[in-house]
Amino acid sequence: MAAGHSLREMLVVPPGAKNFDLPTIDPGRTHGHEKSRSGRILTSGLDRLASLQDRLWAEARHAVLVVFQGIDAAGKDGTIKHVVGAFNPQGCVVSSFKVPSPVELAHDYLWRVHQRVPAKGEIGVFNRSHYEDVLVVRVHELVPKAVWSTRYAQINAFEKTLASCGTTIVKFFLLISKDEQRQRFKARYDDPTKRWKFSLGDLDERKLWDDYMAAFEDMLTRTSTRWAPWYVIPADRNWFRNLAVAEILADVIEDLRPAYPEPREPLPPELVIE
């Protein structure tokens, strides 16, 4: 790891970057971290997250929205299980966005998303998100380019509104290599306990790899902002993926300086409870 640089600094997509090039990022890079030491570092990071969430919930002044995006088998579910699992479910809600229902399609594409934004004191986690409307919608040509191309600005404005109202947004793009995806698909198919997650449609989507990578690059370049930055997490190695997400997320929440509030009413210096 480069001296003096945190993972938060190294993995962020600079807002307004004109020369961001997704193919140049190594999905297997660990930025100086070693697997042999990762367990201890991750445990420390999860303990830190649990403490921060407890104060965030008690204070109820800020909301935190965590967005996960990535191609099929990138590790979104695994990251949520191993990192978000540090949070008390009472103050953390995970939402997954699948194919829109008829009711959702009858509204604008952000309607279903806005309903699941966390309240103050809560941490909301999106497993996929509103970004599907500039990804799968684009790749499969579900709407014309004239429609999806306007959504980058709409999404930026939506997230800016959330941020100005007290929601801190942190977005993680989990990057894996095409070969790693192949191995993960095979592992799913070979494991009876995971085969239910495998679909022949996944192989059809895999054929569109280059189209998805182009869509991801545009998404990262055009929607990484001061108020809602993207972090590209090299995710070929699960242990580094979890460590990096935990560290960055803890750093972001730490910036909010969550603190336990004072009692709601004056209390005596000594209290006898019989």
Whole-prediction pTM value? 0.95
Helix axes 209-223, 151-164, angle to 10 degrees: 50
pLDDT over 90 at 131, yes or no: yes
Mean of the per-residue pLDDT values for the chain? 95
Count CB neighbours of 155 within 10 A. Answer: 23
4 pLDDT band (50/70/90 cuts)?
low
Going along the chain from its start, the domains and CATH numbers come out as 7-254 (3.40.50.300)
Average pLDDT of the residues in 117-123: 98
SS3 63: strand
Q: Measured between alpha carbons, how far is 86 from 72 in angstroms, rounded to an integer?
A: 24
- HSE-CB at 214 with a 13 A cutoff on CA atoms is 6
Q: What pLDDT shows up at residue 83?
A: 97
Bridge partners for 230 per DSSP: 171
- For β-strands 123-127 and 92-96, DSSP reports them as parallel
Residue 208 has pLDDT above 50, yes or no: yes
Instruction: Tell me what the mean pLDDT of segment 22-27 comes to.
Output: 97
First to last CA, the chain: 56
Q: Who has greater pLDDT, 269 or 74? A: 74
Q: What would the mean pLDDT of 75-104 be, rounded to a whole number?
A: 96
Q: How far apart are the C-alpha atoms of 138 and 147, rounded to whole Å?
A: 9
Whether 141 contacts 38, CB under 8 Å: no
What pLDDT is attached to residue 151? 98
Is the separation of the CB atoms in 172 and 68 below 8 Å? yes
202 — pLDDT class (breaks 50, 70, 90): very high
CA 35-38-44 angle, to 5 degrees, is: 175
- What number is the average pLDDT over the span 114-119? 97
Among positive and negative, which fits the CA dihedral 108, 227, 51, 59? negative
Strands (DSSP E) contained in 77-207 are 92-96, 123-127, 167-175
* Average confidence (pLDDT) over 89-107: 96
Identify whether the C-beta of residue 151 lies closer than 8 Å to the C-beta of residue 109: yes
Measured CA to CA in angstroms, residue 19 lies from 59, 162, 218, 244 at distances of 40, 28, 11, 24
Confidence check: pLDDT of 16 > 90: no
| Helix (H/G/I), strand (E/B), else coil: 70 | strand
> Within 10 Å of residue 68's Cβ, how many Cβ atoms?
26
Residue 200 has pLDDT above 50, yes or no: yes
Asked if the model's pLDDT at residue 1 lies above 60, the reply is no
Long-range CB contact pairs, 184-188, < 8 A, 24+: 184/73, 185/72, 185/73, 188/73
How does residue 115 score in pLDDT terms, banded at 50, 70 and 90?
very high
Average of per-residue pLDDT across 52-74: 98
Cα separation of 183 and 186, whole Å? 5
